[in-house]
Amino acid sequence: MQEQFDPLNTKHLGKLITWAKDKTYHEKSLFLVESLAPLVLGIKPSVLLNVSLANEVEWIEFVKLFTQQKALQIKKIRELNGRLQVIFYQREKLDFVLRQKPVQEFLMTMNYPKQYSLDAYLSLLKHRIISLKFPHEVGVFLGYPLKDVLGFMGLLPLPYKRTQGWRIYGDELPSNEVYEKYRQARSIMRKLAVNID
């Protein structure tokens, strides 16, 4: 079944594609936009990426354009070797995901505050990403099914099935549905890119 995307989100994605196609290294810029397509189209709650800082002016242009849609926000994690690690997120969507009771219970076992706050959770995640031990709970922030995150972390005895975007454990159906939505969003982005001169 083809996912229906909000026309305003699709229009915003078109603006980002137009921006990318206008750049000297447009392949890299288009890859960035394609990576963010599921987020821009309202499917994915967040995306964690390393972005090149080779051209700071273009990065500033991109941030300004990306955040024109008020729901879309950026949290800088750190700068490392000329690259910037960033969480791109859709505030309401990420808030909805993190407020789910099973997700809350899981994150509290990972020492996230009992008193939920999106900003506090993102700050703690940022701190953990910077630390020496990578926080595998980032998967729930990125929209992966909780069962897959728990399976990956060894907290739920589910059999590993395969890797498709992330490692899938147990019942594949919910994971396949999520992955298919992400795939469709990227496909829409590629179709738009072909039609935008």
Summarised one tens digit per residue, pLDDT across range 166-177 is: 999 999 999 999
Could you tell me the CA-to-CA distances from 9 to 37, 126, 153, 170, 178 in Å, in that order?
A: 9, 27, 34, 33, 19
Q: Comparing C-alpha atoms, which of 10, 82, 95 is closest to residue 45?
A: 95
Residue bearing tokens 């059999």 = 159
Q: What are the domain boundaries of the chain?
A: 7-190
Residue 1: pLDDT above 50? Answer: no
Q: What is the pLDDT of residues 41-96, one digit of tens each?
A: 999 999 999 998 778 888 999 999 999 988 899 999 999 888 999 999 999 999 99
User: pLDDT at position 173, please?
Assistant: 96
Cα–Cα distance for residue pair 87/66, rounded to 1 Å: 13
For 115, residues 6+ apart whose C-beta sits below 8 A from its C-beta are: none
CA 192 to CA 147: how far, in whole Å? 33
pTM: 0.92
Report the distance separating Cα 118 and Cα 94, nearest Å. 8
